[in-house]
A and B are shown apart, each in its own frame.
Chain A
Amino acid sequence: MRSYAKHIARRFAQFLLVVFIGINLTYVITHMTPIDPVEQSIAAVTSFGNTSPEAIAMMRQSLRELYGLTGGPFEQYINFWRRIAIADFGPSLSAFPTPVSALIARALPWTIGLLVAATLITWTLGNLLGGLAGYYHDKRSLNVLAVIAIGLHPVPYYIVAFVLLVMFGYVWPLLPIAGGYGMNMEQGFNVPFVLSVLKHSILPALSLMLIGLGGWFLGMRSLVSNVVSEDYVVYAELAGVDRRRILGSYVMRNALVPQVTGLALSLGAIFNGAIITEQVFGYPGIGSLLVSAVYAGDYGLVLGVTTVSIVGVSAAVLIIDLAYPLLDPRVRVA
C-alpha cells in the first residue's frame, strides 16, 4: 500500500511539473513576441469600421490589463498565473462578449467524446490484433494486416483525414463530412439527435483510428513475439494449457504493461491528431475553435485553448498513471 501511495505522489508531482513547464512555455512564447498582441487585436477590431480615438484608448487599457501587460515583469507573471488558475481569459474578441471560458466549455465535450471513444477503440483493437499477430505469427491474414498497418501508421493525421474527406465528400457521398450533428437540429438527449451525432462522428473517429491502430498493432506484435519465447510460456505450452488461455492471461497481460505506459506517453500526440481531424471535418470541438480563433485574431481564445489543452492532456495522463497499478501488481506490493 505504501508503494502505491509513493507511486501516486510521484505521478502527481510529474503532473504538476508538466502543467508548470507547459504554462511557462506559453508565457514565454506570448511575451517574447516582436508584435504587441494588444495593438494587433485592436487593429483587427478597428479594421471593421470607424472607432473613435477615446474608444480605442479604453479598449487598449482593458486589453493591457487582460493580457497582464501592465506592471513590472514579476507582476505580469503572477497575473498570468492568477488568470489561468481561475480559468479567466476574458471575453472572446471574435464572439464578443461571450467569455472565452464559456466557448471552451461548450467545445470541450465534443473533443473529449471523440478522443476517448476513438482512443479506447483503437487501443483495444490494435492490442488485440497485434497480440494475435505476434502469437500466431504464421497466419496470413494477420500478416496482411501488418502490411496495411505499416502503410497507414506513418501518414500524418491531416493527410488521412483529408483523403477520407475527399473520398466521402466528392467520390462517394455516403457519410456527413462536416459538423457535429445535423443542421437545424435541436440539441438534446433524444434518439434522432444522438444518432445524428454518432453518424457525424464516424469519419473523424475513423481517421483517428486508421492512424492509431498501426502503432498499437506493431508495438503489441513485437512485444508478444518477445514474451512468447520466455520460459514460463514454453512451460505452460508443455503443460498443455489451453492456447487461448496462454495468450490471454500469460502473454497478453504481461505485454500490455508497456502498452499502457505507451498510451500515457502518446496521449499528447493523439490529442494533436484529434484537434487537426476536427478542423478538417468541421467538428465543433476545441480544434476547430483554435483554428477559427487564429483566423479571427482572437488572442484570448488561442491562449485559452492552449492552456486548457496542456492541463487537460496532463490530467488524462495522470488518470492513466493512477490506473496503472491495477494492471501491474508489482507497483502495489513491491
Chain B
Amino acid sequence: MLTTLRDLLRYNAQFRIGAILVVSVATMAGLSFVSPYSPIDTFVVAPDMPPSPAHPFGTTSRGQDVFWHLTFAIRNTLAFGIIVAVLSRAFSLTIGLLSGYKGGWTDRVLMSINDTFIVIPLFPILVLFYFVMRDRMSWTALALIMALLGWAYDARLIRSLAMSLKTREFTHTAVFSGMSTREILVREHLPYVMPIVFSTTMNNMNWSIGLEVTLSVLGFTDINAPTIGGMIYWANQHTAMVAGVWWWIAFPVVLIVMLFIGLFLLAVSMNEHIDPRSRLQRMGAGGGT
C-alpha cells in the first residue's frame, strides 16, 4: 500500500498534482480548529474590507473574515462528501459483489433497480425533498438521502469486477472448502475490489459535493451552517459581485474548484494504476498527459 503510494507520487504527475491540491484543501479545513472567530458569529470584523495582511482573503458584507470562514466552510463540505461516500460505498459494495457473484435472477433484479437509480434525475428529487422538509432540512438528512441515491453507478463497476473474480480458481477452492457466500464475498473478493472502491470514492465525493454546493447556493439546505455553497448563497444575497466585493465569491469558488480537480485527478490516476494496460501504454508513450 505504501509502496504503491510512493510509486504513484514519484512516477505519476496527475497523481502528484491531485495529491497536492487535495492536501492543501484539507490543510485549509484543518486550520478551522485554530480559527480566532466562531463560524456562526457575524459582524466580528469590519465588513467589505478588501484582501489585506490582516484579512488575507478580505471580509464579507456580514462582517466575517473570508479566510477563516472559508476554513469552516470547506471542513463541513469535505465532511459531507466523506460521509456520503462512505455510506454509499457500503451499498454499492454489497449490491455489486452480490449481483456479480450470484448472477442469474438475483443479478437481473438487482441490476434493473441499479439502472433505475442511474437514470432517475436526482436534482428535482432532492429539491422536492428540501421542499417537504423545509426548516427541518439538515446536513445529516441531506447526506443520508444522497447516500441512498448515489450508489448505483459504482455498484455496476464493482459487479463487473465481481463477475470475473467468480470464475477464478481461488473462488472455486473457497466454495469447495465450504465457505459461505458472505465469507467468500468479504474475505476473498473484497480485497480485490478495494482499489476500485478507493477511486470511486473520489468520484462519488465530487458528485455529492457538487450537488450539495448547488443546493446550498440556491438556498435549498440549512443555510446557516457554513459550507462553500452557503458562502456563495450569502454573497449572492448581498449582491457581492455588483457591490464589488469579488473576494467573497472568488475565494470559495477557487477553493472548491481546486478540490474538484484534485479529487478527479486522484481518481483518474488511480484508475490508470489499477488497469495494467493503460499503465503500460503510459510508459510506452513516454508519459504524454
Contacts and interface: CB of A to CB of B under 8 A. Distances in A.
Interface in A143-161: 143, 146-147, 150-151, 153-159
Contacts of A155: 257, 260-261
A313 B120 contact: yes
A67 B124 CA distance: 18
Majority secondary structure, A binding face: helix
B30 to A, nearest CB: 23
Interface stretch (B50-58, B132-140, B166-174): B132-140
B143 to A, nearest CB: 16
A18 B119 contact: yes
Among A26, A269, A310, max chain B CB count under 10 A is at A269
A150 B261 CA distance: 8
Interface residues of A, number: 61
A46 B217 CA distance: 28
B160 interface: no
Contacts of A3: none
A291 B113 CA distance: 29
A35 B136 CA distance: 9
Majority secondary structure, B binding face: helix
Contact of B131 (A146, A156, A294, A310): A294
Q: How large is the interface on B (under 10, 10 to 19, 20 to 34, 35 or more residues)?
A: 35 or more
A302 interface: yes
A166 B241 contact: yes
Interface stretch (B64-72, B178-186, B263-271): B263-271
Contacts of B128: 26, 29-30, 302-303, 306
Contact of A156 (B125, B132, B214, B220): B214
B190 interface: no
A198 to B, nearest CB: 26
A34 B124 contact: no
B122 interface: yes
Given A17-B113, A25-B125, A146-B289, 4 more contacts: A138-B285, A150-B268, A150-B289, A314-B120
Interface of B: 14, 112-113, 115-125, 127-134, 136, 153, 206, 209-211, 213-214, 217-218, 220, 232, 241-242, 249, 253, 256-257, 260-261, 263-265, 268, 277-278, 281, 285, 288-289
